[in-house]
């Protein structure tokens, strides 16, 4: 049984397990001690010194993220002495820090800005020239380094070593000439490199993809799910004016903790793609022609009513939400009782998987769609009419050519290439509708609608509802 320790912090008694740090003990009293280098998922460095507190009987200020509690300890987080220590530490950090907040990509999310306004707000007494370091230096395909802004918290180094398992970042030189750099002969290119940008408390590490595209105070953040693989990492989808600018990891200890892989982050680009299907279309002479929704629905009805259930095959999608798959299944089974029902999705990629987050299954909802039908689309399928939810992979397109349906109707959010669908009903992306997905652990998770569907696209639920109304 874990021994409990009783101590007093700012006059309030608190009881915590033996081995707890002062920093975490203060959290139980809702006291957030300012810090830079501490991160709950990384080893303790204790090098930024900003979290120092006053401890009764100690010879000097104590680093709270490293010091463990003792029975009867009396801690003062907000004493005048502790406050002065923070001011001194911040003044020391800012001696050589460039005052370029107006052009810094981290402005609005910078912890140094926050700590300065919360704990310092005093003019600089430094009159000598600042030490200059490398600026706008690419250290990998996804990450840019501005070393003048670095506060030497070493979070990025510890993340690469301890979480990603890739020794790619180091600290070199000494004193005020210390810099972060890539290990000789390497670059920061592991699949989780952008996590270093997430945990960097200042603007030293920035995303090459997001850099200077949008000021963060213009962005709206919607809780969602990454659709890059079956892990279903929880994310914040940052968007403005119906354009998605980035994904950030959203804390969920049971799924992705507080991390997100680089390939998963980049899946947002499909939402903004120029190849989005935004209007109902019909394939005429090898090219798509736009239709009005009423015309498209009427033509689809006229085509389908000449076929019987044995001629029709429905294809659900491991990329679509439970709600969309269920709605399309209900429409198909009501309209064509006894039809064949299959599912499709991206092919597995064993080389994509790792022991951190990434899964070989590149679909966000394989478990969800398999609860509706266990049969995957294969070459044995015979069909005159194919009704497909979502996009087809290269393997599925080869199957399509072997099946040779007379009519193919797609509910898709991207323009099919090559043009394989005779009728295209534009489906909204997961950013434009609410929906649930079942991840590889069997957990049902929700993605919230960030903004209304673009163009004339609709969710597959709405499309299925429209089809049911006219049949």
Tell me whether strands 287-290 and 435-438 are parallel, antiparallel or unpaired: unpaired
User: Residue 319's closest CA among 408, 455, 412?
Assistant: 412
Report d(CA 304, CA 420) in Å as an integer: 17
DSSP state of 83: H
pLDDT value of residue 176: 87
Residues 449, 99: Cα–Cα separation, whole Å? 38
Task: Tell me how far CA of residue 75 lies from CA of 26, 119, 157, 186, 377, in angstroms.
Answer: 9, 19, 31, 45, 65
Residue 284: Cβ within 10 Å count: 9
For residue 425, the surrounding DSSP H or E stretch is strand 423-426
**Full DSSP string of 142-209:** SEEE-GGG-----HHHHHIIIII----EEEES-GGG-EEEEPTT--S-STTTTHHHHH-SSSSEEETT
CA distance 117 to 203: 17
**Cα-based torsion angle of the residue sequence 320, 271, 137, 143 in order, rounded to the nearest 10 degrees:** -10
H/E segment holding residue 402: helix 394-403
Opening angle at CA 48, ends 186 and 144, nearest 5: 35
**Cβ neighbours for 108, distance < 8 A, ≥ 6 positions apart:** 215, 216, 217
Give the per-residue pLDDT at 28: 94
CA distances to 66, 194, 206, 207, 263 from 142, rounded to whole Å, are 32, 7, 8, 6, 11
Q: In what order do the strands lie in the sheet with 137-138?
A: 137-138, 143-145, 205-207
CA-to-CA distance for 38 and 97, rounded, in angstroms?
A: 20
Can you give the pLDDT of all 471 residues of the chain as single tens digits? 789 999 999 999 999 999 999 999 999 999 999 999 999 999 999 999 999 999 999 999 999 999 999 999 999 999 999 999 999 999 999 999 998 899 999 999 999 999 999 898 888 888 888 999 989 999 999 999 999 999 999 999 999 999 999 999 999 998 889 999 998 888 999 999 999 999 999 999 999 999 999 999 999 999 999 999 999 999 999 999 999 999 999 999 999 999 999 999 999 999 999 999 999 999 998 899 999 999 999 999 999 988 999 999 999 999 999 999 999 999 999 999 999 999 999 999 999 999 999 999 999 999 999 999 999 988 788 889 999 999 888 888 888 888 889 999 999 999 988 889 999 999 999 999 999 999 999 999 999 999 999 999 999 999 999 999 988
- Contact call for residues 224 and 238 (beta carbons, < 8 A): no
Residue % of the chain over a pLDDT of 70: 100
Q: Delineate the domains of the chain, giving CATH numbers in brackets.
A: 4-94 (3.10.20.740), 128-212 (3.30.70.20), 281-470 (3.40.50.740)
pTM (predicted TM-score): 0.93
Q: What is the pLDDT of residue 437?
A: 98
Task: Report pLDDT digits (tens) over 401-414.
Answer: 888 899 999 999 99
pLDDT of residue 115: 92
Average pLDDT, the chain: 94
Q: What is the pLDDT of residues 191-212, one digit of tens each?
A: 999 999 999 999 999 999 999 9
CB 236 within 8 A of CB 198: no
């Amino acid at each position: 049984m874990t021994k409990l320790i009783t101590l007093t912090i700012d006059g309030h008694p608190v009881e915590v397990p033996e081995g707890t740090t002062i920093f975490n003990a203060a959290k139980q009293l809702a006291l957030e001690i300012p810090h830079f280098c501490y991160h709950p998922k990384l080893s303790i460095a204790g090098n930024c010194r900003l979290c120092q507190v006053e401890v009764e009987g100690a010879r000097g200020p104590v680093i709270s993220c490293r010091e463990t509690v003792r029975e009867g300890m009396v801690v003062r987080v907000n004493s005048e002495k502790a406050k002065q220590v923070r001011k001194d530490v911040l003044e020391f950090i800012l001696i050589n820090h460039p005052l370029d907040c107006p052009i810094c990509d981290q402005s609005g999310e910078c912890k140094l800005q926050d700590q300065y306004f919360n704990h310092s707000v005093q003019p600089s007494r430094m009159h000598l020239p600042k030490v200059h370091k490398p600026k706008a230096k690419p250290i990998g395909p996804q990450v840019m380094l501005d070393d003048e802004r670095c506060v030497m918290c070493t979070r990025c180094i510890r993340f690469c070593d301890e979480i990603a398992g890739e020794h790619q970042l180091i600290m070199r030189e000494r004193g005020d000439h210390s810099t972060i750099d890539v290990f000789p002969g390497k670059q920061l290119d592991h699949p989780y490199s952008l996590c270093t940008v997430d945990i960097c408390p200042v603007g030293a590490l920035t995303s090459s993809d997001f850099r200077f595209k949008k000021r963060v105070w213009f962005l709206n953040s919607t809780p969602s799910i990454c659709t890059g693989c079956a892990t279903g990492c929880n994310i914040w989808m940052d968007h403005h004016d119906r354009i998605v600018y980035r994904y950030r990891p959203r804390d969920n200890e049971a799924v992705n903790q507080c991390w997100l892989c680089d390939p998963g982050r980049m899946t947002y680009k499909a939402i903004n793609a120029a190849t989005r299907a935004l209007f109902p279309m019909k394939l005429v002479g090898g090219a798509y022609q736009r239709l009005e929704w009423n015309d498209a629905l009427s033509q689809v009805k006229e085509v389908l009513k000449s076929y019987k259930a044995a001629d029709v095959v429905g294809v659900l999608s491991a990329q679509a939400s439970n709600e969309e798959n269920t709605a399309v299944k209900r429409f198909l089974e009501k309209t064509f009782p006894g039809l064949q029902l299959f599912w499709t999705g991206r092919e597995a990629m064993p080389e994509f998987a790792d022991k951190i987050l990434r899964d070989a299954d590149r679909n966000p909802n394989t478990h969800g769609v398999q609860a509706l039908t266990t049969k995957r689309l294969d070459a044995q399928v015979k069909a005159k009419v194919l009704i497909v939810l979502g996009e087809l992979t290269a393997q599925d397109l080869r199957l399509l050519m072997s099946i040779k349906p007379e009519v193919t109707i797609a509910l898709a959010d991207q323009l099919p290439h090559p043009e394989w669908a005779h009728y295209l009903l534009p489906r909204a992306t997961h950013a434009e509708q609410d929906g649930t997905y079942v991840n590889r652990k069997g957990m049902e998770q929700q993605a919230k609608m960030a903004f209304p569907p673009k163009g004339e696209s609709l969710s597959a639920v709405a499309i299925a509802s429209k089809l049911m109304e006219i049949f």
